[in-house]
Every structure is written in C-alpha cells, then in structure tokens.
C-alpha cells in the first residue's frame, strides 16, 4: 500500500528542505523526495545567505537534511516521475523505482534547468569560472578580467551590472542583437570593451579560464565569463496534475519559464504549492528558502482548515442524536431502494467491531443531516479518536467463517481492521476495503502489530464508484450501514458477483432498534434477511442458502446498562 503523508515535497534544495523543516516543526508527517542533483552543485559556495556565507552547496543541503530529520521529517533520494490527483482527494507521487507515496498536499520545489548557450566548453566550466549571477559570484571574481557573452537583448544590462565588480569588463557580442548608439555610449562611458564576432570556444590553462576564442581566430583574454542561460522550470510532474508553465520576463524580455502561483506559492490546482526557482527563476538560495517557509506555512494552515471542517462535521454528527452503542454506528440506513427508505454512505465504512462491553460511539442522524461528503465524514469519524471499535472481530463472522477452509477473502467496510486481521490470522489472504484512509492506515498498523501485514491488502474504495477486483472464496459485508448516501443493494450485488465458485457471501445487519431506544429518533425500515436475499437477485440454480434468519444478542447500552439487539444474517454459497 502506498505510504501516506500530510505533505510530500518534491525537490530537496533550499526551498524544499526549508518547507519540510517548517512542516516538521508544525508536527506534520512530511516526506522530501530529492534526486540529489542541485542546480548549484558545481559552485564552490553559497553566497548572500546570512550566517551561511560561503558554505559549499552540498554541505548546506546535508545540514538541512539533518535538521529536517530532527523534527521527524523523512528524506529519500529518488526521482519523482509522475504525480496525479486522486479521485477521493489527495495526491499520488510515483518514483522512478516504481514505488509510490500518497499525500494530502504537494509542495513542488523542483527548481530549474540552466540551458547554456551552445559554445563548446561552457558546460565543463559552469559554476566555476563560467557564471551567471554577480550577486552569487561577483565578489569571487572581483577586479579580474570578466567577459560577458551576449546572446539576447539583456546583454548590455548584464554587462553594466558586472561592471560593479571589475573595471576590466569585455562584452562579446557573439550572437546577441546589434547595439544602438545609446547602448554604445553607455558602455564607453563605463570603459567597457566591445568585441565583435562569434565566440567558438574557451581557452583553458591549468584548469582555469584564460580567454575566449573567436571565429576569426582571435583570442581575447578573460578570467571569468558571465553568460545568460535560459531558465527553464522542471515541469516533468505538471501534466498529471493539470498544471502548465508560463513564461517569465525581465524588463519585458522572456528569460525562462515558471510554474504560476500566488504570493503564498499556491497554484491553480487546490492542494499543490510551489516554491523556489520553480516559482521564480530569479530567486537566490536565501530567497528560495524563504519561499519554502512561506509555502509550508500556507499548506499547514490549509490542512488545519480542512481538519477543522472535519472535526466540526464529526462533532455535529456525534451530538445530533443519542449514541448507538458498541455494535454499530449508523444502524438503519440500509433498506431496499424499492421501499424508498434512506440509504447509508457512498462507500464502505468501518465495520462495527464493538462487541458486547465496548462503548464505541455511533450515529443515528436523520437523512440529510450530515454536513460533509462520505469521505470527509468517515475520515473525521475515525480521526476523532485514536480507536473507535474494540479491536475484536464481529461475532457473526467468527461463528460463520470458523469452519471455512482459508482462501481469498474480501472484507467490505474493513474499518480499523479487526475482521480482516482475524481472517489473516487463520490463514486467509485478505483484501480489505474501506472509504476512509484514516481507518485503513490505522488498520495497517494493527495488522503489522499482529504480524499479519503481509496477508492483508488494504484498499481505499468508495464502493459506489469503485470496487476491489478479483474473485474470492469469502466475501464479508458485516454491518455495512452508513449515515451518508449508500446504495447498499447495488454494493451487495457487486459483492455476490465477486464470490468465486464454491465461495461464500456473508451479510450481517441490524433488524431493529436496540432495546434501550424507547423513542427511536425517526422511523425507518430494517430489511429482513429474506429481503436482503431478494435484493441480491441471485441466479436460480447457482446458489444455495446456508443461513437466512434473525437473531437476538446481548449489547451494552451507552450508559452501561445491559441490553439486547436484534440482528440478521444471510449466508449463501455459490455452487461449484
């Protein structure tokens, strides 16, 4: 199962690590995916970064990784090759090695690529004596012979900027546009030499730049060369997220591309932020780091707002009506559609694993009273408490499946996993499906503790929209009720279709209000096991009914008093 995080940061430079550090300190579960190829790796040091002046780039990043890890953040070396929005919310990021992670939010700090002019030898000297930013490298080459390679309309602007660090500056017109009279006057006034002709190569001696070679054979001395690269945002992941880059200009001229975002780094895709050079090609390291912090703060606030909405929905649900007690939390919304009765949630929810003596909270809200989507409701339901159910498997499952030979099982509405874990402990290979990722993550932890993690495949499904693939020797749907819209009959028919020849379908549900409900909160039809059987529309001659009956069981009321409840069970077998 894909690992789940609050935030996945793609890119481990100054912006990404600063964002991850901020999120870690905000007690978020955060992962940084970094390819280990920072743009500034060839440089000797990072500059204009207060208290870190001159620090080698890789040393700065190594320190940053340690600081992120110190607050619980994770950093993995790898390349993210794809990202997509999930239908139920959140995002999935796939790495080059085929592994994948899931996150509620994404922070893209993928940086940019410097596209160098096509002059032989430039790439080999890049970041050493072939430079781009005077604020990053000007001091280190001050008072030396500096050349500026013209390739676009900003060449004169670039030359006058570099003139601040040396009186010996030469502009090589190369492939740049011709100079106007005013530009030539400005350069002459600043004692800048202008060299006509195309540059064809670099002269190097003792691993140091000594000059530029022109097409006519001339060699003009210089010890450092300033070039203007095209600054292209890394956009490999954007297509899957529905994002596109836009051109970024300086003084009216395009210098590269960026991922458009607002001042906080929020993109046009909800849940996706961007920071660093991917958002602004002109940011230096310190500015990129600041952008990462700013974006992380915005992400954390966005998560807080969502968590608050869920908590309010859960609180309203919990306060709407009296609790159901230990065996169910959404007891009755499962009647046949033909009767016009209210249905439950649009996907399976946590199976009621309370059992006698537990005091799990429940839900008896009226139809239409739930102010949240099914995903939001059930995630909030489970997030509200560290454990909702008792951890015991449903008694009806234990009774009806104990004598079955282990094979492949499908548990619909797996909740915190007690049924699936019990089956796995008896040798079954289990696919466990639930709408709530919160419940699934919790269940996976329980399975690991029970040492059966390798026998359970936890899958998130809204059973109305998606359903686990394959056929199974046992399909279990115990107390598949929900206070949100649920086409229970449709789901149970899909469950029957998933039963392999010789396999069993087990359906358990409530047959009435619990004994302590003297004044039920509303009228509703509880389907009989015969009605459930009829809604399955099983083909004559292909199935046998093993059990179809109601039964009474003991159940403790929310106030601790002993009580009873009538439930029903349907057990059918597909003939071989």
Got the DSSP string for 242-279? Answer: T---EEEEETTEEEEEE----TT-B-SSTTEEE-GGGT
CB 425 within 8 A of CB 489: no
- Residue 329 reports pLDDT greater than 50: no
pLDDT of residue 519: 76
Residue bearing the bigger pLDDT, 391 or 258: 258
**pLDDT level of residue 318 (50, 70, 90 thresholds):** low
Domains in the chain, please, with CATH?
A: 3-112+231-306 (3.50.50.60), 117-228 (3.50.50.60), 337-574 (3.40.50.150)
Only one residue has tokens 């993109």, namely: 267
Taking residues 346-365, what's their average pLDDT? Answer: 34
User: What is the band of 420 on the pLDDT scale with cuts at 50, 70, 90?
Assistant: very high
Alpha carbons 433 and 415: distance in angstroms, whole number: 8
Sheet holding 408-412, edge to edge: 456-460, 429-434, 408-412, 472-478, 499-510, 562-574, 543-556
pLDDT of residue 189: 97
For residue 171, list its beta bridge partners: 148, 194
Averaged pLDDT of the chain: 86
Q: How many CA atoms lie within 13 A of 76 on its CB side?
A: 18
Q: How many CB atoms lie within 10 A of CB 501?
A: 11
| pLDDT (0 to 100) of residue 346 | 29
Look at residue 320 in the predicted model and tell me its pLDDT.
52
Least confident of 119-128, 183-192, 346-355, 540-549: 346-355
Q: What percent of the chain has pLDDT over 90?
A: 66
Taking alpha carbons only, the member of 232, 214, 53 closest to residue 147 is 214
Cβ pair 109, 16 in contact under 8 A: yes
> Mean pLDDT, to the nearest integer, of 487-495?
90
- Give the residue, 329 or 562, on which the prediction is more confident: 562
Q: What would the pLDDT profile of 194-250 be if each residue is shown by its tens digit?
A: 999 999 999 999 999 999 999 999 999 999 999 999 999 998 899 999 999 999 988
pLDDT reading at 322 higher than 80: no
Give residue-wise pLDDT tens across range 464-486: 889 999 999 999 999 887 776 77
pLDDT computed for residue 100 by the predictor: 93
Strand (E) or helix (H) holding 401: helix 395-401
Length of the chain counted residue by residue: 576
Residues in CB range of 515: below 8 A, 6 or more apart: 555, 557, 563, 564, 565
Helix (H) or strand (E) holding 105: strand 100-108
Average pLDDT of the segment spanning 528-545:
91
Taking residue 182's Cβ as centre, other Cβ atoms within 10 Å add up to 9
The whole-number pLDDT of residue 141 equals: 95
The three-state secondary structure class of 376 is helix
**Which pLDDT score, from 0 to 100, does residue 521 have?**
65
Confidence of residue 390 (pLDDT cuts 50, 70, 90): confident
- pLDDT band at residue 39, thresholds of 50, 70 and 90? confident
**Residue matched to tokens 């990021």:** 93
pTM, full prediction: 0.59
- Indicate the pairing of strand 169-172 with strand 112-115: unpaired
* E strand segments, 127-181: 130-131, 146-149, 169-172
Token couple for 156: 């004169």
3 state DSSP class of 181: helix
Q: Please spell the DSSP secondary structure of 207-227, one letter per residue.
A: SSEEEEEETTS-EEE-SEEEE
Where is pLDDT greater, at 382 or 300? 300
251-265: average pLDDT = 92
- Rounded to whole angstroms, the Cα distance separating 503 from 473 reads 4
pLDDT for 2 equals 55
Whether residue 124 has pLDDT greater than 50: yes
């Amino acid at each position: 199962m894909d690992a789940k995080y609050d935030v996945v940061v793609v890119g481990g430079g100054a912006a990404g690590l600063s964002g991850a550090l901020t999120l870690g300190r905000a007690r978020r579960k955060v992962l940084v995916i970094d390819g280990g190829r920072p743009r500034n790796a060839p440089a000797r040091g990072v500059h204009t970064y207060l208290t870190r002046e001159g620090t080698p780039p890789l040393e700065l990043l190594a320190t940053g990784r340690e600081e992120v890890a110190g607050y619980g953040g994770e950093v993995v070396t790898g390349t993210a090759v794809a990202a997509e929005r999930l239908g139920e919310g959140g995002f999935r990021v796939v790495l080059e090695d085929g592994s994948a992670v899931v996150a509620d939010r994404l922070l893209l700090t993928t940086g940019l690529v410097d596209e160098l002019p096509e002059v032989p030898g430039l790439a080999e000297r890049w970041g050493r004596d072939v430079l781009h930013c005077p604020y990053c490298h000007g001091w280190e080459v001050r008072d030396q012979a500096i050349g500026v390679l013209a390739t676009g309309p900003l060449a004169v602007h670039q030359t006058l900027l570099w003139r601040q660090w040396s009186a010996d500056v030469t502009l090589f017109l190369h492939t740049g546009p011709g100079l106007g009279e005013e530009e030539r006057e400005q350069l002459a006034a600043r004692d800048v030499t202008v060299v006509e002709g195309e540059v064809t190569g670099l002269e190097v001696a003792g691993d140091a730049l000594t000059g530029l070679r022109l097409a006519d054979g001339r060699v003009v001395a210089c010890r450092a060369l300033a070039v203007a690269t095209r600054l292209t945002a890394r956009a490999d992941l954007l297509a899957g997220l529905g994002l596109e880059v836009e051109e970024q200009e300086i003084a009216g001229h395009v210098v590269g591309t960026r991922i458009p975002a607002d001042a906080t780094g929020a993109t046009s895709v909800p849940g996706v932020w961007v920071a660093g050079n991917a958002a602004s090609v002109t940011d230096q390291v310190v500015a990129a780091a600041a952008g990462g912090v700013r974006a992380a703060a915005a992400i954390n606030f966005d998560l807080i707002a969502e968590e608050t909405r869920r908590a309010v929905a859960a609180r309203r649900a919990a306060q709407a009506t009296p609790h159901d007690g230990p065996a169910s939390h959404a007891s009755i919304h499962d009647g046949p559609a033909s009767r016009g009765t209210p249905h439950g949630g649009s996907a399976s929810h946590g199976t009621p694993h309370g059992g006698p003596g537990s005091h799990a909270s429940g839900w008896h809200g009226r139809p239409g009273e739930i102010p949240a989507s099914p995903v939001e409701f059930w995630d909030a339901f489970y997030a509200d408490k560290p454990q909702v159910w008792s951890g015991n498997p449903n008694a009806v499952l234990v009774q009806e499946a104990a004598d079955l030979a282990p094979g492949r099982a499908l548990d619909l509405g797996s909740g915190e996993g007690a049924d699936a874990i019990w089956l796995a402990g008896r040798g079954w290979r289990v696919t466990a499906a639930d709408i709530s990722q919160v419940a699934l993550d919790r269940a996976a932890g329980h399975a690991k503790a029970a040492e059966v993690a390798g026998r359970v495949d936890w899958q998130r499904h809204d059973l109305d929209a998606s359903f686990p693939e394959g056929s199974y020797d046992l399909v279990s749907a115990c107390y598949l009720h929900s206070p949100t819209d649920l086409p229970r009959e449709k789901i149970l028919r899909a469950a029957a279709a998933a039963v392999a020849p010789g396999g069993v379908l087990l359906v358990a549900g409530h047959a009435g209000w619990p004994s302590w409900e003297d004044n039920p909160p509303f009228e509703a039809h509880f389907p009989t096991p015969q009605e459930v059987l009829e809604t399955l529309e099983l083909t004559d001659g292909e199935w046998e009914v093993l059990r179809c009956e109601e039964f009474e069981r003991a159940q403790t009321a929310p106030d601790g008093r002993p009580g009873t409840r009538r439930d029903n069970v349907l057990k059918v077998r597909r003939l071989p």
